[in-house]
Amino acid sequence: MTDAGLFQRLVERTGRVIVLRIDGVPVEAREGDLLITAILLHRPSLRRFEFADAMRAGFCLMAACQDCWVQLADGRRLRACSTPVAEGMDVLIEGPSHD
């Protein structure tokens, strides 16, 4: 249960399936999903907190708190609550810790 996704879809969506990777594992999202949704439907959190041994999962969902910046394997950093998911995004959550 502790590894189960956080979000729960209430409204089924029929749009195109989009495949992204989370720590190398392919997972499915739907067209219209924001990156935060695509991640938290499958995972309980989306990034390591850089100043302690803890994880974060975003907070405000309105691009104000800046808690949901995620790292992509290609070097990009994206704010997950304001970025639509796109095919082939390769999200790194369990990267090396920063201590």
Partner 1 sequence: MTEARDPVIAVIGAGPAGLRAAETLAAAGLRPVLFDEALRPGGQIYRQPPAGAERPPAQLYGFEAAKATRLHGVVARAAGRIDYRPETLVWSLAEGQLDSVGPHGYARLAYDRIVLATGAMDRVLPFPGWTLPGVFTLGAAQIALKAQGVALGRRVVLVGAGPLLPLVAHQLRKAGANVVAALDVTPFWPKLANLPGMLALPGTLAKGLWYTARNRLAGLAVQANVQALRVEGKARVEALVWRDAAGREHRIACDAVAASFGLRSETQLADLAGCRFGFDATTRQWLPQVSAAGRSDIATVYLAGDGAGIGGADAAELRGERAALAVLEDLGRKVDGARQGVLDRGLARHARFRRALEAAYPFPSHLLDNLPDDTLLCRCEGVSVGTLRDAVGRCEVTEMNRLKALTRIGMGRCQGRVCGQAAAELLARACEADIAAAGRLRGNPPVKPIPFRKIEA
In degrees, rounded to 5, the angle at the alpha carbon of residue 52 between the alpha carbons of residues 65 and 77 is 45
Of the candidates 67, 91, 94, 95, the one whose C-alpha atom is nearest the C-alpha of residue 79 is: 67
Q: Which of 19, 25, 28, 49 binds partner 1 (CB under 8 A)?
A: 49
Q: Which of 22, 23, 84, 92 binds partner 1 (CB under 8 A)?
A: 84
Q: Quick one: how far is CA 87 from the chain centroid?
A: 13
* Binding positions for partner 1, rule: CB under 8 A: 2, 6-11, 13, 15-16, 30-34, 37, 41, 44-45, 49, 51-52, 54-67, 69, 77, 79, 82, 84
